[in-house]
Amino acid sequence: MSFYDATVPAFLQILNSLSGLLTKAEAHCKVKNIQPEVLLGARLFPDMLPLNRQIQLASDFAAKGCARLTHSEVPSTPDTEKTFDELRQRLANTIEYVKTFKPAQFEGADTKDVTFPVGPNNSLTLKGQQFLNAFAFPNFYFHAATTHGILRHSGVEIGKRDFLGVS
Protein backbone atom coordinates (compact mmCIF):
# COMPACT_ATOMS: atom_id res chain seq x y z
CA MET A 1 0.00 0.00 0.00
CA SER A 2 1.01 3.62 -0.22
CA PHE A 3 2.33 6.04 2.35
CA TYR A 4 -1.03 7.79 2.05
CA ASP A 5 -2.68 4.58 3.31
CA ALA A 6 -0.34 4.60 6.29
CA THR A 7 -1.27 8.12 7.27
CA VAL A 8 -4.61 9.65 6.26
CA PRO A 9 -6.95 6.78 7.32
CA ALA A 10 -5.24 6.55 10.72
CA PHE A 11 -5.85 10.22 11.42
CA LEU A 12 -9.43 10.11 10.12
CA GLN A 13 -10.42 7.15 12.29
CA ILE A 14 -9.49 8.86 15.54
CA LEU A 15 -10.66 12.34 14.50
CA ASN A 16 -14.07 10.80 13.91
CA SER A 17 -13.97 8.91 17.20
CA LEU A 18 -13.10 12.13 19.07
CA SER A 19 -16.22 13.74 17.66
CA GLY A 20 -18.22 10.80 19.02
CA LEU A 21 -16.56 11.14 22.43
CA LEU A 22 -17.61 14.79 22.56
CA THR A 23 -21.20 13.88 21.73
CA LYS A 24 -21.29 11.38 24.60
CA ALA A 25 -19.64 13.94 26.88
CA GLU A 26 -22.24 16.56 25.98
CA ALA A 27 -25.07 14.12 26.69
CA HIS A 28 -23.44 13.31 30.03
CA CYS A 29 -23.45 17.02 30.92
CA LYS A 30 -27.16 17.25 30.18
CA VAL A 31 -28.09 14.15 32.17
CA LYS A 32 -25.90 15.04 35.14
CA ASN A 33 -26.65 18.76 35.04
CA ILE A 34 -22.99 19.62 34.53
CA GLN A 35 -22.14 22.95 32.94
CA PRO A 36 -20.45 22.15 29.61
CA GLU A 37 -17.62 24.60 30.24
CA VAL A 38 -16.73 22.75 33.44
CA LEU A 39 -16.21 19.44 31.63
CA LEU A 40 -14.47 21.17 28.71
CA GLY A 41 -12.08 22.70 31.23
CA ALA A 42 -11.42 19.42 33.07
CA ARG A 43 -7.82 18.25 33.47
CA LEU A 44 -6.09 15.15 34.83
CA PHE A 45 -3.79 17.37 36.93
CA PRO A 46 -3.77 21.11 37.54
CA ASP A 47 -0.77 21.82 35.30
CA MET A 48 -2.02 19.68 32.42
CA LEU A 49 -4.00 21.05 29.50
CA PRO A 50 -7.81 20.90 29.70
CA LEU A 51 -10.12 18.87 27.52
CA ASN A 52 -10.78 21.55 24.88
CA ARG A 53 -7.03 22.03 24.32
CA GLN A 54 -6.54 18.26 23.92
CA ILE A 55 -9.05 18.30 21.05
CA GLN A 56 -7.41 21.32 19.45
CA LEU A 57 -3.98 19.73 19.69
CA ALA A 58 -5.10 16.38 18.29
CA SER A 59 -6.64 18.29 15.37
CA ASP A 60 -3.43 20.21 14.82
CA PHE A 61 -1.15 17.18 14.87
CA ALA A 62 -3.32 15.54 12.21
CA ALA A 63 -3.69 18.59 9.99
CA LYS A 64 -0.14 19.87 10.31
CA GLY A 65 1.24 16.34 10.10
CA CYS A 66 -0.38 15.81 6.69
CA ALA A 67 0.73 19.28 5.55
CA ARG A 68 4.35 18.79 6.58
CA LEU A 69 4.56 15.31 5.09
CA THR A 70 3.32 16.58 1.72
CA HIS A 71 5.26 19.87 1.88
CA SER A 72 1.97 21.76 1.70
CA GLU A 73 1.32 25.10 3.38
CA VAL A 74 0.96 24.35 7.09
CA PRO A 75 -2.48 25.48 8.30
CA SER A 76 -2.79 27.62 11.40
CA THR A 77 -6.08 27.60 13.29
CA PRO A 78 -6.83 29.94 16.21
CA ASP A 79 -7.70 27.97 19.33
CA THR A 80 -10.96 29.72 20.11
CA GLU A 81 -13.38 26.81 20.63
CA LYS A 82 -15.24 26.94 23.93
CA THR A 83 -18.33 24.76 23.37
CA PHE A 84 -19.03 21.18 22.33
CA ASP A 85 -20.46 22.40 19.03
CA GLU A 86 -17.41 24.50 18.27
CA LEU A 87 -15.03 21.65 19.09
CA ARG A 88 -16.97 19.23 16.90
CA GLN A 89 -16.79 21.84 14.15
CA ARG A 90 -13.02 22.07 14.66
CA LEU A 91 -12.81 18.30 14.24
CA ALA A 92 -15.12 18.39 11.21
CA ASN A 93 -12.98 21.08 9.60
CA THR A 94 -9.87 19.02 10.30
CA ILE A 95 -11.46 15.90 8.83
CA GLU A 96 -12.48 17.85 5.74
CA TYR A 97 -8.95 19.25 5.42
CA VAL A 98 -7.25 15.85 5.87
CA LYS A 99 -9.60 14.39 3.24
CA THR A 100 -8.39 16.95 0.68
CA PHE A 101 -5.03 15.17 0.44
CA LYS A 102 -4.56 12.81 -2.47
CA PRO A 103 -2.44 9.64 -2.49
CA ALA A 104 -0.17 11.18 -5.12
CA GLN A 105 0.85 13.93 -2.70
CA PHE A 106 2.23 11.29 -0.34
CA GLU A 107 4.22 9.43 -3.00
CA GLY A 108 7.84 9.34 -1.90
CA ALA A 109 7.04 11.48 1.14
CA ASP A 110 8.26 8.74 3.46
CA THR A 111 11.87 9.29 2.37
CA LYS A 112 11.76 13.09 1.96
CA ASP A 113 13.08 15.40 4.66
CA VAL A 114 10.53 17.09 6.89
CA THR A 115 11.74 20.06 8.94
CA PHE A 116 9.43 20.98 11.77
CA PRO A 117 9.51 23.13 14.91
CA VAL A 118 10.22 21.49 18.27
CA GLY A 119 9.66 24.08 20.93
CA PRO A 120 9.82 27.81 20.32
CA ASN A 121 13.44 28.08 19.18
CA ASN A 122 14.41 24.77 17.64
CA SER A 123 13.63 22.73 14.59
CA LEU A 124 14.33 19.14 13.69
CA THR A 125 14.66 17.40 10.33
CA LEU A 126 13.58 13.80 9.89
CA LYS A 127 12.61 11.64 6.95
CA GLY A 128 8.85 11.59 6.45
CA GLN A 129 8.41 8.08 7.82
CA GLN A 130 10.41 8.94 10.92
CA PHE A 131 8.51 12.20 11.37
CA LEU A 132 5.28 10.22 11.30
CA ASN A 133 6.47 7.48 13.70
CA ALA A 134 8.45 9.56 16.13
CA PHE A 135 6.46 12.78 16.21
CA ALA A 136 3.14 13.11 14.41
CA PHE A 137 1.49 9.82 15.45
CA PRO A 138 2.67 9.72 19.09
CA ASN A 139 1.60 13.34 19.64
CA PHE A 140 -1.72 12.82 17.88
CA TYR A 141 -2.60 9.66 19.79
CA PHE A 142 -1.34 11.19 23.03
CA HIS A 143 -3.84 14.04 22.90
CA ALA A 144 -6.62 11.76 21.67
CA ALA A 145 -6.09 9.22 24.45
CA THR A 146 -5.71 12.00 27.03
CA THR A 147 -9.10 13.29 25.87
CA HIS A 148 -10.51 9.84 26.58
CA GLY A 149 -8.72 9.75 29.96
CA ILE A 150 -10.13 13.12 31.05
CA LEU A 151 -13.66 12.12 30.06
CA ARG A 152 -13.38 8.70 31.65
CA HIS A 153 -11.99 10.20 34.84
CA SER A 154 -14.90 12.65 34.82
CA GLY A 155 -17.38 9.79 34.84
CA VAL A 156 -18.50 9.88 31.20
CA GLU A 157 -19.58 6.36 30.26
CA ILE A 158 -17.22 5.61 27.41
CA GLY A 159 -14.63 2.93 26.81
CA LYS A 160 -11.77 1.99 24.55
CA ARG A 161 -14.20 1.04 21.80
CA ASP A 162 -15.33 4.66 21.67
CA PHE A 163 -11.70 5.76 21.42
CA LEU A 164 -11.15 3.29 18.57
CA GLY A 165 -14.34 4.45 16.90
CA VAL A 166 -15.78 0.95 16.66
CA SER A 167 -18.64 1.19 19.16
Residues within the interface to a copy of itself (CB under 8 A)? 1, 5-6, 9-10, 13-14, 44-45, 48, 110-111, 127, 129-130, 132-135, 137-139, 141-142, 144-146, 148-149, 152-153, 155, 160, 163-164
Residue number with CB closer to a copy of itself (101 or 163): 163
Q: Is the dihedral of CA 106, 20, 25, 161 positive or negative?
A: negative
Residue number with CB closer to a copy of itself (71 or 86): 71
Residue number with CB closer to a copy of itself (81 or 110): 110
Q: Residue 85 Cβ, how far from a copy of itself at the closest point, in Å? A: 26
User: 3, 127 in Cβ contact below 8 A?
Assistant: no
Q: How many C-beta neighbours within 10 Å does residue 78 have? A: 6
Closest CA to 22 of 139, 117, 154: 154
Q: Residue 144 Cβ, how far from a copy of itself at the closest point, in Å? A: 8
Terminal CA-CA length for the chain? 27
